[in-house]
Amino acid sequence: MQVPFQRRAHVVPKLLDQVKKMGLKPKVVATDHGPLWRREEDISWILQLYENWALQKPTRKAVIAYDTMWGGTDLMARTIADGLAAGGTMAKLTPIGGSHRSDVATEVLDAGALLVGSHTLNNNMFPSVADVLTYLKGLRPQNLIGAAFGSYGWSGESVKQVREVLEAMKVNVVGEVKSKYGPTKEVLQECHNLGLQIAQRLKELVEGG
């Protein structure tokens, strides 16, 4: 069973603080939701990782999770990633067609931003994107900024639906980009600018504290 990020932020740091105050140096870390850590040398590094994951302090890393039908949303995602990189942020592309929902959740653990893209299918977001968002919503990640993007051929409801789910997750949505059919140069410039905007916001959040 996955423990929601929100619960971890309250429970895990308190427990780890008690371990430090007691001067304990565990040789085995046995979690109820993952592997057992056994090492002859000091394994305090894994305790530090658990603390970092629980606190979810913003970092200059952005996860871009998306699925695409004809390649338009993929091109948008990669252009956003270029903008993020130009702004000094590490962009982690996770095309959902080749990533399990748990892969996306793992990347979000140490990220400061979550950007989600979806083509529109039958007036809705892609089922694969809805699956990942449903999973993430249940985990309740904290302290994220984000954006929604996607391409469409007819009515284009997916971007609005993605944005609504992100907002329900308490993600601070700072922008969105839509493209009817394949993205034009103008749309790709919007995507690049969105990446730069997210990167700047993450820089401010990280450096501010």
Confidence of residue 9 (pLDDT cuts 50, 70, 90): low
pLDDT in tens, 27-39: 787 777 677 777 6
**Full set of structural domains in the chain with CATH:** 5-55 (no CATH), 61-208 (3.40.50.360)
With tokens 């090492």, the residue in question is 39
Query: CB burial class (10 A; 0-12, 13-18, 19+) of residue 18?
Result: exposed
pLDDT for residue 2: 47
Is the whole model's pTM more than 0.85, yes or no? no
Which positions ≥6 away from 33 have C-beta within 8 Å? 1, 2, 3
Answer whether 89's CB lies under 8 Å from 62's CB: yes
Name 33's bridge partners: none
pLDDT over 80 at 53, yes or no: no
User: How confident is the model at residue 1, as a pLDDT?
Assistant: 37
Q: What percent of the chain has pLDDT over 70?
A: 89
How many Å apart are CA 52 and CA 85, to the nearest integer? Answer: 23
> What tens digit of pLDDT does each residue of 97-125 get?
989 999 999 999 999 999 999 999 999 99
**53 or 96, higher pLDDT:** 96
Interval 186-197: pLDDT, tens: 999 999 999 999
- Per-residue confidence (pLDDT) for residue 188, from 0 to 100: 98
> Which pLDDT band holds residue 15 (cuts at 50, 70, 90)?
confident
Three-state secondary structure of the chain: CCCCHHHHHHHHHHHHHHHHHCCCCCCEEECCCCCEEECCCCCHHHHHHHHHHHHCCCCCEEEEEEECCCCHHHHHHHHHHHHHHHCCCEEEEEEHHHCCHHHHHHHHCCCCEEEEEECEECCEECHHHHHHHHHHHHHCCCCCEEEEEEEECCCCCHHHHHHHHHHHCCCEEEEEEEEECCCCHHHHHHHHHHHHHHHHHHHHHHHHC
Question: Taking 70 as the threshold, does the pLDDT of residue 6 lie above it?
Answer: no
Q: Name the pLDDT band for 57 (thresholds 50, 70, 90).
A: confident
Tens digits of per-residue pLDDT, 135-187?
999 999 999 999 999 999 988 999 999 999 999 999 999 999 999 999 999 99
Mean pLDDT taken over the chain:
88
Interhelix angle for 185-208 vs 72-86, to 10°? 40
